[in-house]
Amino acid sequence: MSLNEGNIDASNRLKKVASAASVALAAVLALLKIFAAIYTGSLAILSSLIDSLADVFASSITFVAIRYSAMPATYNHRYGYGKVEAISALVQAAFIAGSGIFVLYDGIYRLFYPSPVEDTGIGIAIMVVSLLATLSLIVFQKYVAKKTNSIAIAADSDHYTVDVVTNLSIIITLAAVALFEADWLDTVVACVVSGFLLVSAYKLAGRAINTLTDAELPPEIRKRVCEIVLESPFAKGIHDLRTRDLGGAYMFEFHLELDGEVSLAAAHEMTELVEDSLWEEFPDAQIIIHQDPAGVDEERLDTKLQAPKK
């Protein structure tokens, strides 16, 4: 097994563990919140319950998608199945948006038909447990997402980050209801939570669509690729760099400018050294390099495509 294959296997294992932990936590928290919502009658807790049920669904999709995306490339899918993660993130976004709309509707309804909140102590205790457990999961997911560049794990982490904000706001709300009998605050916070859900869904969908439509990677990654290539003493230049996210793995395609007098064998060896340098920083990357004689006069993609005006 090559070093690159070993990195990919380790990355896939991390993603599988993170997705399994997410499903397990979402299921446990949903059960706790079902009890809390029934016991207290709190709309804010109900909104958090709906969010947790959405988490169970979304995390289950992530769990399946990660296993599917980890499949090796085949004859008909030579880039692999990594973009399945982006599809799962798009489905998650739709489900989260639907949950937000449901909570918003229920919140507006209760503004006109108020319902008292009872036994806030039980609700607060369950929400504190939920908050601490969610924070622990997010720390692990952030680590995995950074290590593997997984859009599915990052998506999961993003909407659990929203959960932290909503759980904290619900704890404060229940305390205010208990101390000041401000039942209306429960409804207001539920509406705010639905707003967080809708914003989260919008951002998540945008990232997934960028991956599915082969948007260029961030400027700092493109810049780093150029720096690594030009650090090679034999590299005379780089042009027509194209990048994309294959779903947790990056793809780089570019023209490498070399001395036009070197042999084909020497040019091949130089190209291999450039690939190795890139793999040191981007171990999962797929790389396609075209060799060009330095100084050749040709029509280039860089001149055809203009950068967007800032």
Q: Say how far apart CA 33 and CA 51 lie, in whole Å.
A: 10
Q: Bigger pLDDT: 291 or 165? A: 291
Neighbour count for residue 276 (Cβ, 10 Å): 12
Per the prediction, the chain carries an average pLDDT of 82
Q: How many residues does the chain have?
A: 310
Q: Letter for the amino acid at 249?
A: A
Best mean pLDDT range from 178-182, 246-250, 271-275, 279-283: 271-275
Q: Are 57 and 88 in contact (CB under 8 A)?
A: no
CATH fold of 219-304: Alpha-Beta Plaits (3.30.70)
Class of domain 3-212: mainly alpha
Our measurement of the distance from residue 184's CA atom to the centroid of its chain's CA atoms, rounded to an integer in Å, reads 35
The pLDDT tens digits for 131-158 are 899 899 999 988 888 887 777 787 777 7
What are the DSSP calls for 98-120, one per residue? HHHHHHHHHHHHHHHS------H
Domain ranges of the chain: 3-212, 219-304
User: For the whole prediction, is pTM greater than 0.75?
Assistant: no
What values do phi and psi take at 116, rounded to 5? Answer: -65, 150
Tokens read off for 79 = 């880039």
User: How far, in Å, CA of 294 to CA of 225, rounded?
Assistant: 19
The pLDDT assigned to 117 comes to 61
Read off the pLDDT band of 242 (50, 70, 90). Answer: very high
Burial 87-116 (b: 16+ CB within 10 A, else e): bbbbbbbebbbebbebbbebbeebeeeeee
Could you read off the pLDDT of 47-84 as tens digits, one per residue?
Answer: 677 777 877 877 788 788 877 777 877 888 888 888 88
Q: What is the pLDDT of residue 30?
A: 86
Shortest CA distance to 200 belongs to which of 106, 103, 108, 89? 89
Structure-token pair, residue 204: 């998540």
| Strands lying side by side in the sheet with 286-293 | 237-245, 250-258, 286-293
CB of 96 closer than 8 Å to CB of 109: no
Say if residue 227 is exposed, middle or buried (CB neighbours under 10 Å; 0-12, 13-18, 19+). Answer: exposed
Give the range with max mean pLDDT: 14-28, 180-194, 198-212, 273-287.
Answer: 273-287
Average pLDDT over residues 246-250: 80
Calculate what percentage of the chain has a pLDDT beyond 70: 89
User: Who's near 282: CB < 8 A, 6+ residues apart?
Assistant: 225, 250, 252
Q: Could you identify the residue written with the tokens 């997984």? A: 150
Residue 2 confidence (pLDDT)? 46
DSSP-derived 3-state class of residue 289: strand
Quick one: pLDDT band at residue 1, thresholds 50, 70, 90? very low
Query: Average of pLDDT values for 200-224?
Result: 89
C-alpha–C-alpha distance, residues 87 and 211, integer Å: 9
Residues 106-121, mean pLDDT to the nearest whole number: 68
Average pLDDT over residues 14-38: 84
Positive/negative CA dihedral, 149, 152, 153, 154: positive
